[in-house]
Amino acid sequence: MTDKKRQYWDYARFANLAFSFGVTMTAAILLGLYGGMWLDRRLGTSPLFLVVGVLGGVGVGFRSILSELWILEKEPPQKNHGQDKIDPD
């Protein structure tokens, strides 16, 4: 595989990671938002559960992202494609 292809796949991997983080945060916040709105309508407590739901969504989103990062950190190191070879003199 050429260096350009390797570099492309490295960029694609990082783009996938960033996209995953964005989707995770958005989904968690929206679930908290709509869950809080639903509870407020059912219980008649106007902004209380909306705020709690959004803050909870942010917390859950960050927790999920941190757990994904911990998993990625524990993966075995990948080959450096010969970038750190030391020439014996």
pLDDT tens, 27-81? 999 999 999 999 999 999 989 999 999 999 999 999 998 988 888 778 765 665 5
Average pLDDT over residues 3-23: 84
Its pTM stands at 0.70
Q: Where are the domains of the chain?
A: 3-73
Closest CA to 31 of 47, 12, 49, 45: 49
Residue 41 one-letter amino acid: R
| Burial of residue 61 (number of CB atoms within 10 Å: 0-12, 13-18, 19+) | buried
- At residue 10, the pLDDT reads 79
For residue 85, pLDDT over 60 is answered with no
- At residue 88, the pLDDT reads 53
